[in-house]
Amino acid sequence: MNHIVTVTVDNSPMDMYVARPENATAPAPAMLVFQEAFGVNAHIRDVADRFAKLGFTAIAPELFHRTGRGVEGSYTDFAALAPHFGALTREGLEADVDATHAWLKSDAAIDAARVSAIGFCMGGRVAYLANARLPLTAAVSFYGGGIAPDLLPLAAKQHAPILMFWGGRDAHILPEQYRAVADALAKAEKVHEQVVFGQADHGFFCDARASYNGQAAPQAWALTQAFLQAYGAY
């Protein structure tokens, strides 16, 4: 069961795609699903639906809401999304994370004590940011750009164990960057796992992208489920 919920953030309506588990008899754990730069599109909705099948209530907020509503873009035309992507600020994203969390806490069908986050590309950065703000149970970040160097100081503030995926052939996130993230988390003595798929490119998990990797993606999904189960996310 899925539907759209709208909340107001900074005087702007923010739509959230919500996928709920079927036939739930108790409050469900929550999964915050943070979008790529291409919007809460079919791929992100599919990820949310996958989590609903695992028993989560999955919530995917539209992070471009300040510059447009229902923004979705083509994987072959990033330039068209540049005005939306360029308008994002850390403060705005933090407000969006807080508003999403506040909404789920108000929903009696959600177990607010078990909230996790996953994100892809820019959403991978947001999942890391959310883990520094919210009392999450677990967090998963796929090829999160801009964590190093911008957000390295937040390594010490990570609340929950975090699983991070990187592509060895990703020209957008270089090895020195993802190694810096791992080093910062290790120095802060945070529970973290770092997985590098040597033959994978940026966006390898998305089967709608040319960079989809049919070997890495299913492995990453299996590791994600095992990680979430290991730390009590569901």
Q: Is residue 121 annotated as a catalytic residue, yes or no?
A: yes
Kindly state the helix (H) or strand (E) to which residue 32 belongs, with its residue range. Answer: strand 28-34
CB of 124 within 8 A of CB of 141? yes
Q: Is the pLDDT of residue 155 over 90?
A: yes
pLDDT at 16: 98
Helix (H, G, I), strand (E, B) or coil at 137: coil
Assign 25 a pLDDT band (cuts: 50, 70, 90): confident
pLDDT at 23: 87
The residues, ordered by sequence, that sit 6+ positions from 217 with a Cβ below 8 Å of its Cβ are 204, 205, 207
Assign 92 a pLDDT band (cuts: 50, 70, 90): very high
* Active-site position among 65, 84, 96, 121: 121
Query: 192-197 and 162-167: which strand pairing?
Result: parallel
Query: In sequence order, what are the beta bridge partners of 14?
Result: 7
Reading phi first (left if > 0) and then psi (alpha if -120 to 50, else beta), residue 27 is in: beta
Q: Is residue 206 annotated as a catalytic residue, yes or no?
A: no
Residue 89, Cβ neighbours under 10 Å: how many? 10
Helix (H, G, I), strand (E, B) or coil at 187: helix
CB of 160 within 8 A of CB of 131? yes
* Active-site position among 65, 84, 202, 206: 202
User: Across residues 6-31, what is the average pLDDT?
Assistant: 96
Q: Where are the domains of the chain?
A: 2-230
Q: Is residue 202 annotated as a catalytic residue, yes or no?
A: yes
Reading phi first (left if > 0) and then psi (alpha if -120 to 50, else beta), residue 158 is in: beta
| CATH topology for the 2-230 domain | Rossmann fold (3.40.50)
Mean pLDDT for all residues in the chain:
97
Q: Cis (ω within 30 of 0) for the bond into 149?
A: yes
CB of 19 within 8 A of CB of 30? no
